[in-house]
């Protein structure tokens, strides 16, 4: 197990390093340079040169890349152009809000979706099953910010069931939870049917396998068979896809944070873009990418915990 985690972490690190490099390359291939963006089009060439020098942008590309890596390794993501605060500090301040939101959404969607998929598989062709079948594909594709806006309009502005703005008072768990409901719902709603469908498909496959017949032949209860013998195998593909789905969710979280004026990485990033605060934008993007890579790593580790064949590097 430990060996697997180490092996998989190494791979995650390589992917992250490549992603960072690619991002760096992209930015330098794009038209426009940070100095004129920050200072606006009317800035004098002298001022631009000074800023470029301060940010190290006058150096050769490879030197810049090396400095970029060195800074990253020290946890230095640069400083905010306006407030001079370290970007890392700002990002770490906002990150927990986003993580809580994404986890709430993914957890809620799994809690409803997995039993729903299980039920659909056991009672397949029932009304509920067919409903899940039709809804699952379409709901995941509806942009989550549209769902967020509709929820805001209906549950918050019209019916006033839930607060519309912010993340709640710090220290007041109940208030924070109330503020979490709508953004998490907007983010997770589409996933319920999608997860249900994934679980249903693999559940139907697993229930046909020989070892399930063996379990039945030993008189194990249908409950034990479904929960311990079948579901454990049937959730494996879902865990992988959820790990990848975090990427989609992080994009969705940005919209949810903006729609519900909730603090978080997405909101920080959006403000950074609007004020052309280049270091903040880069820092936020890097941090979300790192978080995403970490999530795919975690989903693979969960997979390995559930499936000994993955742990031993055997393809299942």
Partner 1 sequence: MSAPVLNISNLSVNYSTDRGTLHALRDVDLHIQAGRIVGIVGESGCGKSTLISTIIRLLSANACVEEGEVLFQGEDLLALDAKAMRKLRGNELAMVFQDPMTSLNPVLSIGRQMLDIQYRDDGSKAEKKSRSLHMLERVGIPDAATQLDRYPHHLSGGMRQRVAIAMALMTEPSLLIADEPTTALDATLEIQIIQRLRQLQRDVGCAVLFISHHLGVISELCDEVVVMYAGEVVESGGTRQVFDAPKHPYTRGLLECDPASIQASDNILPVIPGQLPDLTDPPPGCIFQPRCDRSVAQCSSQRPRLDGQGHRAACFVATS
Partner 2 sequence: MKNFLRELSRDTPGMIGFVIVIIVLALSVFASVIAPADPLEIDVYNRLASPSWQHWLGTDQLGRDIFSRVLYGGRVALKVALISISVALLCGLLLGMIAGFGPSWLDRILVVCFDTMRSFPTVMFALAIMTLTGPSLNTVIAVIIITSIPVYARVVRTQTLAVRNLDFILAERAMGASTLRILRDHILPNISAPLLILASMDVPAVVGMEAGLSFLGLGVGPPTASWGSILNDGYSYLRNSPWPIIAGGIPLILVTLGFTFLGESMRDILDPKLRGKGALNQ
Encoded tokens for 169: 């008072």
123 binds partner 1, rule: CB under 8 A: no
Per the listing, tokens 């791979």 go with 11
The reply on whether position 63 binds partner 2 by CB under 8 A is no
Cα–Cα dist 249/52, whole Å: 36
What is the smallest separation between the CB atom of 272 and partner 2, expressed in angstroms? 7
Among residues 59 and 251, whose Cβ is nearest to partner 2? 251
Q: DSSP of 217-240, one letter per residue? A: HTT--HHHIIIIIIHHHHTHHHHH
Helices (H), 123-172: 127-141, 144-151
3-class SS of residue 79 = strand
Residue 94 or 229 having the CB closest to partner 2? 94
Query: At closest approach, how far in Å is the CB of 314 from partner 2?
Result: 22
Which residues in the 212-241 window bind partner 1 by CB under 8 A? 213-221, 224, 228-229, 232-233
Nearest to 111 by CA among 307, 242, 226: 242
Identify which of residues 167 and 198 has a Cβ nearer to partner 2 in the complex.
198
- Scan residues 181-240 and list those touching partner 2 (CB under 8 A): 194, 201
Q: Which DSSP letter does residue 153 get?
A: I
CB of 105 to partner 2, least distance (A): 14
- Answer for which of 99, 135, 164, 306 binds partner 1 (CB under 8 A) is 306
How many CB atoms sit inside 10 A of residue 100's CB? 18
Q: Which stretch binds partner 2 (CB under 8 A): 62-70, 89-97, 204-212, 267-275?
A: 267-275
Q: Does residue 10 bind partner 1 (CB under 8 A)?
A: no
Regarding 140 and contact with partner 2 (CB under 8 A), the answer is yes
Question: CB under 5 to 8 A by kind: which of partner 1, partner 2, none does 2 bind?
Answer: none
Tell me how far, at minimum, the Cβ of 117 lies from partner 1, in Å: 18
Beta-bridge mates of residue 86: 79
């Amino acid at each position: 197990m430990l060996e697997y985690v180490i092996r998989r972490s190494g791979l995650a690190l390589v992917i992250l390093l490549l992603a960072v490099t690619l991002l760096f390359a992209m930015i330098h291939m794009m038209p426009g340079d940070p100095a004129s963006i920050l200072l606006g089009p009317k800035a004098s060439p002298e001022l631009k040169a000074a800023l470029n020098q301060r940010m190290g942008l006058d150096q050769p590309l490879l030197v810049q890349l090396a400095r970029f890596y060195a800074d990253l390794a020290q946890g230095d993501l640069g400083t905010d152009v306006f407030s001079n605060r370290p970007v890392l500090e700002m990002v770490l301040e906002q990150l927990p809000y986003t993580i809580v939101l994404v986890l709430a959404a993914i957890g809620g969607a799994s809690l409803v979706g997995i039993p729903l998929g299980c039920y659909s598989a056991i009672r397949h062709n029932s009304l509920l099953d067919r409903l899940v079948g039709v809804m699952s594909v379409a709901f995941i594709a509806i942009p989550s910010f549209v769902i967020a806006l509709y929820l805001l309009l209906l549950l918050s502005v019209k019916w006033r069931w839930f607060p519309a703005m912010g993340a709640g008072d710090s220290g007041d768990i109940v208030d924070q939870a109330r503020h979490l409901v709508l953004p998490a719902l907007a983010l997770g709603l589409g996933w319920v049917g999608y997860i249900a469908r994934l679980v249903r498909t693999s559940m139907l496959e697993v229930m046909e396998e020989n070892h399930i017949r063996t379990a039945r032949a030993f008189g194990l209860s249908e409950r034990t068979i479904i929960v311990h013998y079948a579901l454990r195998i049937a959730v494996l593909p879902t865990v992988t896809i959820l790990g990848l789905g975090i990427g989609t969710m992080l994009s969705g979280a940005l919209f949810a944070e903006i729609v519900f004026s909730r603090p978080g990485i997405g909101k920080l990033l959006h403000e950074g873009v609007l004020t052309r605060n280049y270091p903040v934008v880069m820092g936020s993007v890097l941090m979300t990418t790192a978080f995403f890579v970490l999530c795919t790593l975690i989903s693979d580790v969960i997979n390995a915990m559930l499936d000994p064949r993955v742990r031993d590097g055997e393809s299942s």
